[in-house]
Amino acid sequence: MPPAISISGVTKRYGSIVAVDGVDLEIEAGQVYALLGPNGAGKTTLVEILEGYRDRDAGEVSVLGFDPQRQRGELNRRVGIVLQHSTPMEGLTPREMLNFTARLYDHPMDTDEVLELVGLTEHADRRGSKLSGGQKRRLDLATSVIGNPDLIFLDEPTTGFDATARRQAWEVVRGLTERGATVILTTHYLDEAEHLAQQIGLIKDGRIIFEGDITALRREMETDTRISWQPPSGFDPADLPDEWKEVSIGADGRLSLPTQTPTVHLARLIEWSRNRGMEEIPELQVERPDLEEMYLELVDDSEALETADQS
């Protein structure tokens, strides 16, 4: 199966500012790809180039086999888009909006099915002006999928959602990929990217500084898992195994062991504890760094490298 998106050497300048700097990217069909980056990194410009809303200055772009700069009309019939900010037609109901939008596509989904998919069945006949912010955002999502698109761009899709609604939206996104759709996700909720995306691209200063899955990101960052526990009373740090030289003691007395082989060290900890008559390890926690921590560290490392190169 050919990739859903393939780009090579894509560049976009605004005067002296290079917003997208020679980006190469290939995204497989049927997956969620999260494009992450700080404000001003170039992700919005890159996505708009893929959508056909902005022309590139250089490079090659193929989206579902079309060049969005030259074949935007053909591409639009196979793409759904959730913009970061949009306003529904307040005089129309969600049902009317979806029925109207469905006519623009060759093989749309059933309106009632989409209303149920996004959790708007009970509000299907309420005027847009009467919808809450979260309900309007659900309608944005419904409008993007009613055409049964092969590719969906989701720009901050769960903005304004509470925790429950966000997780419901995640299930919607998973359902879309199960139907075969490809999803390009931009979000400031890094836990959202971690839960949904099979692949992650980190963009900074118009360049992709990392691409891969969460496991590859952890491997790239050589991030440590942290095992922590409360030692028994009368504990002597000298009693720890020699290979645990990295163990630290917190202000609350908890022991903390950083490791890249957590299974090995956890088994060793259980053995060590049982040899001391401990049936349970008090307050045992095994914490892996989340995407946000790794993302911030990688961006900081990139900035440090640039500073070194310029010195």
In this structure, of 5-14, 64-73, 285-294, the range with the lowest mean pLDDT score is 285-294
- Assess contact for 199 and 212: CB atoms under 8 A: yes
Q: What is the pLDDT of residue 300?
A: 66
Report CA 14 to chain centroid distance, whole Å: 27
Domain coordinates in residue numbering, the chain: 5-218, 224-287
Work out the pLDDT band at 168, boundaries 50, 70, 90. Answer: confident
pLDDT in tens, 66-97: 999 999 888 988 999 887 766 667 789 999 99
Residues 149-157 have a mean pLDDT of 90
In this structure, of 22-26, 28-32, 250-254, the range with the lowest mean pLDDT score is 250-254
* Nearest CA among 56, 51, 50 for reference residue 20: 56
Backbone torsion region of residue 57, taken as left when φ is above 0, otherwise alpha when ψ lies between -120 and 50, otherwise beta: alpha
- Hey, what CATH topology would domain 5-218 get? Rossmann fold (3.40.50)
- Assess contact for 145 and 182: CB atoms under 8 A: no
Q: What is the pLDDT of residue 305?
A: 36
Cβ count within 10 A of residue 102:
18
β-bridge pairing 5-14 and 151-155: unpaired
pLDDT in tens, 142-151: 998 899 999 9
In this structure, of 16-25, 77-86, 137-146, 219-228, the range with the lowest mean pLDDT score is 219-228
Query: Residues 6 or more apart from 127 whose CB is under 8 A from it?
Result: 90, 91, 92, 93
Strand-pairing partners, residue 73, are: none
- Residue 199: both structure tokens together: 């692949």
Q: What is the pLDDT of residue 310?
A: 45
Query: Residues 6 or more apart from 90 whose CB is under 8 A from it?
Result: 127, 128, 129
- Residue 3: both structure tokens together: 């990739």
Distance (Å, whole) CA 97 – CA 141: 12
Distance (Å, whole) CA 191 – CA 4: 24
Distance (Å, whole) CA 137 – CA 180: 23
